[in-house]
Amino acid sequence: MPLPQRSRHWARVLRLTCLAAMAVLTLTALYVSFQLDGFIAENARRFGMADTYRASGITRALLVPGIWGMLAVALYTLWQMATLFACFAQGDALTPGTAQAIHRVGGGLLALAALGVLGHTATGLVLSIDAAPGQRVFSIGLDHADIGFALAGGLMSLIGGVMQQALEIRSENESFV
């Protein structure tokens, strides 16, 4: 049974929202990559480094790939969400494609949670390269967003896996009838 028209409409809206978010995130990463001073200053303050902190070329060179790595995972997750919403917009609710997309969204959210923790730690370590003695930091941070991403990612992965199993059982049962 296909999804109701109202659900299909909202799926189209949410798919476009995901695509717009992908564009905004990419533009933001471009901006931050070319305007690293603000990013560095904000993070240096956050880690309690002196206002006189100055980043070297190596620090800058290490921060940019981190920004783009985090962006890649966010874009992957948003793309999988857009794929799921496209399935829903076509009226597909219980198909292998939707189950796979849900599972992949979960994987992306779990990766975002892990990168949130690792990114915080890596940023502190990279900024410490140029910090004055006594101001170097090693910090592991767990943000509420990281916890939310981890829980949502686990839930989505589990739902996607259970859907795949349910579809296999349904297919097996249909072959007997």
Residue 86 to residue 102: CA distance in whole angstroms: 12
Nearest C-alpha neighbor of 87 from the set 78, 99, 73: 99
Residue 175 has pLDDT above 90, yes or no: no
Q: How far is CA 76 from CA 80, 134, 176, in A?
A: 6, 39, 39
Confidence of residue 1 (pLDDT cuts 50, 70, 90): low
Percent over 70 (pLDDT), the chain:
98
Residue 70 has pLDDT above 90, yes or no: yes
Residue 155 has pLDDT above 90, yes or no: yes
Express each pLDDT in 83-105 by its tens digit: 999 999 999 988 999 999 999 99
What's the DSSP call for residue 47?
Answer: T
Q: What is the pLDDT of residue 176?
A: 77
Average pLDDT (115-143) is 87
Confidence of residue 173 (pLDDT cuts 50, 70, 90): confident
Q: Report residue 120 CA to chain centroid gap.
A: 14
Residue 167 to residue 2: CA distance in whole angstroms: 16
Nearest C-alpha neighbor of 63 from the set 84, 32, 90: 32
Q: What is the pLDDT of residue 133?
A: 79
Ramachandran region, residue 7 (left: φ > 0; alpha: ψ -120 to 50; beta: rest): alpha
Residue 93 to residue 36: CA distance in whole angstroms: 43
pTM of the prediction? 0.88
Residue 59 has pLDDT above 80, yes or no: yes
* Cα 38-138-58 angle, rounded to 5 deg: 50
Residue 153 to residue 97: CA distance in whole angstroms: 18
Q: Is the dihedral of CA 46, 54, 120, 126 positive or negative?
A: negative
Average pLDDT (21-27) is 98
Q: What is the pLDDT of residue 143?
A: 87
Average pLDDT (69-74) is 96
